[in-house]
């Protein structure tokens, strides 16, 4: 039987470029090459697309060729420049392993829609919606899901520090991981925190600090056919959770540990999983997402954010939660591809 031709896109122009490369390396280690013929398309930090042998440390050099995903549906694949001429490579499915802007915000998904190639993950609408935390909160609230109280500050807009109750978190409304996020304990710190967030997005979100445990749930599937991974809990020694900010994340964080399965009561675990599924459906997610939430002392579950293309590195939360539910990454990748091609988990 012919192997499925899978385009694996990684890298990208966002601040999460290095994490994306590490995610692609883990995917490469776990992809069953007896079933799939992988084509690795790396996007440099400056936005150049290159077809390469794999996401190794030297992928930008070492024989890589300029390539582009054709938006022409009669091609349904890649245009690769080789010795001054373009050749075409057809693709059966695309697996975007991209994080942050121009990766999981709907931009890449729009290009894939134009191409007519099935792809793994959320569509344009849900990708854009989940990327904008303020819009995600509005939709979640309309579905009866608890969210933090929040305020948005647009470009060049001023906010009166006296109108807020501290502490608050200030973050870019449309950015990934913890880039540009500040915890503000005093009103004198607010304006500086807003300017920090504006380095990553012109729209800034200010939200109340929720007192509770930071928890997450990995979701896989479409519509009513959803699989939830084990719940995790972020154990903080001090400060706040800043994912992907460490110098050597493989060796662990300086202030946090992810406990999988989470050390919470069974009824809380079930509530977290069901709430994650409800959030996933309300925001129109498909394929996969990691739903981050807070579990308050009174048992209430509050939405934090949804990551539509979560990290797949050896230390990332999504694959660890799935592995704890006895779904190794190789099987998760199989199911992702099946969902992209058929809409169902095989």
Q: What is the pLDDT of residue 82?
A: 86
Mean pLDDT, 10 residues at a time, the chain of 346 residues: 93 93 97 97 95 92 88 94 90 96 95 97 97 97 97 90 94 85 94 93 94 96 95 76 53 70 96 98 98 96 97 95 97 97 82
- The whole-model pTM stands at 0.92
C-beta of residue 210 within 8 angstroms of C-beta of residue 296: yes
Non-local CB neighbours of 25 within 8 Å, separated by 6+ positions:
55, 56, 313
CA distance 344 to 161: 49
46-82 b/e (C-beta count within 10 Å ≥ 16 → b): eeebbbbebbeeebeeeebeebbbbeeeebbbbbbee
Tell me the β-bridge partners of 253: none
C-beta of residue 150 within 8 angstroms of C-beta of residue 134: yes
C-beta of residue 174 within 8 angstroms of C-beta of residue 132: yes
CA distance 60 to 43: 9
Q: What is the pLDDT of residue 57?
A: 85
Instruction: Look up residue 199 and give its two tokens.
Output: 């380095």
CB atoms within 10 A of CB 141: 13
Strands 204-208, 150-153: parallel, antiparallel or unpaired by DSSP? Answer: antiparallel
Q: Where are the beta strands (DSSP E) in 173-224?
A: 182-184, 204-208, 213-222
Q: What is the pLDDT of residue 83?
A: 83
Q: What is the pLDDT of residue 245?
A: 46
CA distance 282 to 256: 30
Which positions are catalytic? 19, 22, 99, 244, 250, 290, 311, 315
Q: Which domains does the chain have, with CATH numbers?
A: 4-119 (3.40.50.20), 128-146+211-342 (3.30.470.20), 150-208 (3.30.1490.20)
Q: What is the pLDDT of residue 151?
A: 95
CA distance 333 to 163: 47
Q: What is the pLDDT of residue 344?
A: 78
Tell me the β-bridge partners of 153: 204
Instruction: Look up residue 239 and give its two tokens.
Output: 């400060």
CA distance 215 to 322: 14
Indicate the helix (H) or strand (E) that contains 8. Answer: strand 4-11
C-beta of residue 256 within 8 angstroms of C-beta of residue 234: yes
C-beta of residue 12 within 8 angstroms of C-beta of residue 99: yes
CA distance 89 to 42: 15
């Amino acid at each position: 039987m012919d192997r499925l031709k899978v385009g694996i896109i990684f890298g990208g122009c966002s601040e999460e470029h290095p994490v994306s490369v590490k995610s692609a390396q883990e995917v490469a280690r776990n992809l069953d090459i007896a079933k799939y013929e992988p084509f690795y398309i790396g996007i440099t930090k400056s936005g150049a697309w290159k077809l390469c042998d794999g996401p190794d440390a030297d992928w930008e050099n070492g024989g890589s060729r300029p390539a582009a995903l054709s938006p022409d549906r009669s091609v349904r694949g890649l245009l690769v420049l080789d010795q001054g001429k373009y050749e075409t490579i057809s693709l059966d499915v695309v697996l975007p392993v991209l994080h942050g802007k121009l990766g999981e915000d709907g931009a890449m998904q729009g290009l894939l829609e134009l191409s007519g190639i099935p792809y793994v993950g959320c569509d344009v609408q849900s990708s854009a919606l989940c990327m904008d935390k303020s819009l995600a909160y509005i939709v979640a609230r309309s579905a009866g899901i608890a969210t933090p109280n929040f305020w948005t500050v647009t470009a060049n807009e001023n906010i009166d520090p006296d109108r807020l109750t501290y502490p608050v978190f200030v973050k870019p409304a449309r950015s990934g991981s913890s880039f540009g996020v500040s915890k503000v304990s005093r009103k004198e710190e607010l304006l500086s925190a807003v300017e920090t967030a504006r380095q990553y997005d012109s729209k800034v979100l200010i939200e109340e600090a929720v007192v509770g445990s930071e928890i997450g749930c990995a979701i896989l599937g479409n519509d009513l056919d959803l699989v939830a991974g084990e719940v995790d809990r972020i154990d903080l020694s001090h400060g706040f959770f800043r994912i992907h900010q460490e110098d050597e994340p493989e060796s662990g964080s300086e202030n946090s540990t992810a406990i999988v399965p989470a050390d919470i009561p069974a009824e809380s675990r079930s509530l977290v999983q069901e709430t994650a599924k409800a959030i996933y459906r309300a925001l129109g997610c498909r394929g996969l997402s990691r739903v981050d939430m807070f579990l308050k002392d009174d048992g209430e579950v509050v939405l934090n954010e949804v990551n539509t293309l979560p990290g797949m590195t050896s230390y990332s939360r999504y694959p660890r939660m799935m592995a704890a539910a006895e779904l190794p990454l190789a099987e998760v990748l199989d199911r992702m591809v099946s969902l992209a091609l058929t809409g169902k988990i095989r």
